[in-house]
A and B are shown apart, each in its own frame.
Chain A
Amino acid sequence: MATPEPPLLTMSGITKSFPGVRALDGVDLEVRAGEVHCLLGQNGAGKSTLIKVLAGAHQPDDGTITWRGEQVTLTSPVAAMRLGIATIYQELDLVAGLSVAENVFLGHEPTTAGFVVRRTSARTATAALLRRLGHPEIDPARAVGELPAAQRQIVSMARALSHDVRLIVMDEPSAALDPDETANLFRIVTDLTADGVAVVHISHRLEEIRRIGDRVTVLKDGRAVAGGLPAKDTPTRDIVAMMTGRNVEYVFPERPSVPAAPTRPPVLRVEGLTRQGEFAPVDLKLRPGEIVGLAGLVGSGRSEILETIYGARRPTAGRVLVDGRPLRPGSVRAAVRAGLGLAPEERKAQGLLLLESVTRNVSVSSLSRFSRGGWLDRTAERAAARTATRELSLRPDNPDARIRTLSGGNQQKAVLARWLLRGCRVLLLDEPTRGVDVGARAELYAVIRRLADDGLAVLLVSSEVPEVLGLADRVLVLREGHVVHTAPARELDEHRVLDLVMEGSPTP
């Protein structure tokens, strides 16, 4: 497929920072006309940010974009569209109340005298586009809200094609589709590339990449760890290793020479915990001082298990016991009272009070400790919060700093300090190093190990296999909502875990 002419698109050294985290750190991407270029990476690797830069929705801090040999600046989505770059987002950006034809021509309606919309010609043109996409059965006059997800995807595609498009970016287009619909989508992609249109395809599903991809770029921690690999021939294990592995060698803290005494009674027991459609019955025991890791790919049910233990989701069966006493199911408050604490995956959306100071973020779960009859002792609150943050070496050492201004790693420490202050005994960590700069991770690992050494029980979820292996004492490997293997971390290595998480790789 490769052509001798210059690449259609070259992005080089693209850097983009948000407060607290560097989302893209010098990413290179090269796309040729007529190819399907797959973009792979874990959640948070920077894929979404990269395509938003490409769509003109984000402005990069640094780096250049070259389009058909000329350097360009994509100041807005409209500018990107004018060049012929169309993006189909994961959350489809269609207007449910408008008809198919109105959506397809939204913003560039065919008009008479500049403002009278020529509805008939818009409908005819839409019908032609839908035929080209193999879906003549979609009525251009129907409201988009009435269509099933798969057909909406087609409408998005038709909208992209209604422009003079040369590059289509598709963000996980198959996520909402069944196998037949996916097959049709891939047929359309093949037709488009035959016409010389390039497709940037984002997916978690390796077998899709094998089917339609030409080349692969793998993103990790805001960097392109590999660019332009042949999609058909690169071994799956190499690709997964690049996604889940380490591009920097970390120093993991020493495990205690004597493993947590198996004689000590478990503080947390999970018995047959199930959520229909998300994960099969899970059994689990967690002793004080022990770190247990859950390893698995996206969609394996790892975050769901954590949130169900915590009461944020209601189980369909099974129970959670702390010190042998069952928790009221589906109640976060019951879990917190019993001594559980969660550091959620989406730290900003689920964990932090972004307008508030460090102190208030730390003390929020322990307010009654600093109050008498509802009256707050703010001096005691501030002092205790500061003690907790100092314990974790949170920087800056200023309890009044706004949490928003902290780096990702320090924000995570604030969340940990919250539970430390609460006197929590079981810590549930969901992707604790997500959005944490690579350099700051080792320190966070040391903190987590120290908390365990002080007697906390830690349940760790991570999509990074080396992180689970390096930090946990015991590992549960998850695949499609099932625990497929349980073993001490010492007895596992990265390859073995990768084989386990991918075995009989998920079906589309």
Chain B
Amino acid sequence: MPPTSRRGLLFGTAAVSAGALLTACTSNEPKNSAPATDNVPAAADKPGTPVTIGFAGPQADHGWLNAINENAKARAAKYAEVTLEITEGSNDTAAQIGQIQTLINKKVDVLVILPADGKALTQVGLQAMKAGIPVINLDRVFASPQAYRCWIGGDNYGMGLNAGRYIGEQLKDKPNAKVVELAGMDNLELTKQRTQGFDDALKNYPNIRKVARQAAEFTVESGQAKMAQLLQAQQQFDALWNHDDDQGVGALRAIQQAGRDDFLMVGGAGAKSAMDAIKAGNSVLKATVLYPPTMAASAIDLARALGQKKGVSGMSELEIPASITLYSAVVTKENVDDYLPTGFS
């Protein structure tokens, strides 16, 4: 198992409860109607001392990353005393290092960093911490805990686990059930973690066998191409787990083109188009496992609290936790209305 996912597991049990508390308190999942518009901020919502937050993320060339930026911007705009310094997104490690160093030199109060590559940007995280700027590490984790004050992110392993559990429960009474996996980019560690979680969950269901797995590239085009091949290879199966709703658009297109509807499909990430399809209930897509981009809004809350030396309301501790792992909820027709507002396009 990769080190990151082990870390995820270790603090998973401890952090999920804290995360749940925070989530309940920030309330940006079940109840709000648009990302970060009418929800209650994490710390006290009355204006405090001014805080400048530096935000550096990858290039928003993908729906989920775009939603990250939008969530961060919308949340920061809610606070009169928060100034958000947001950099041009970049997928190039060197360019992102340069952008973060500029933010350090500008002496922002808190940094929120979603690294293009967590390991490669560890040094610049350390550098910021040494310069006395607390770092909120968003989602893709640095190699050293010294490089951030607080890590907040999704649970890739948990995503696979929950997708596997959902499918397992749906198929537990069916003998010799077959499942197929359409994974994301294979050169990313998170893809391996999602697959691992999925496989581990399926071990609890001896009647279910994973018969095929192909990796797409988080794009509609690759989703269509790989799904078409999978459908050709597997003339009959009972369930499909697709890691990413963006590539899921292509996968659904391929399924439609092949004229197949004899299985159930579970998506990943929580795109609005997927939730709409789940709600409509007229396609094979029955559920999607969240990897909520609202984490960016939470990261802004945490950064503000850090800048104002506050803790998290709803928790007994005076300090903000060192790490917060979000819960990968399963969105189905039953609860889709609660989650629709967080869906991204």
Instruction: Note whether A and B contact each other (Cβ less than 8 A).
Output: no
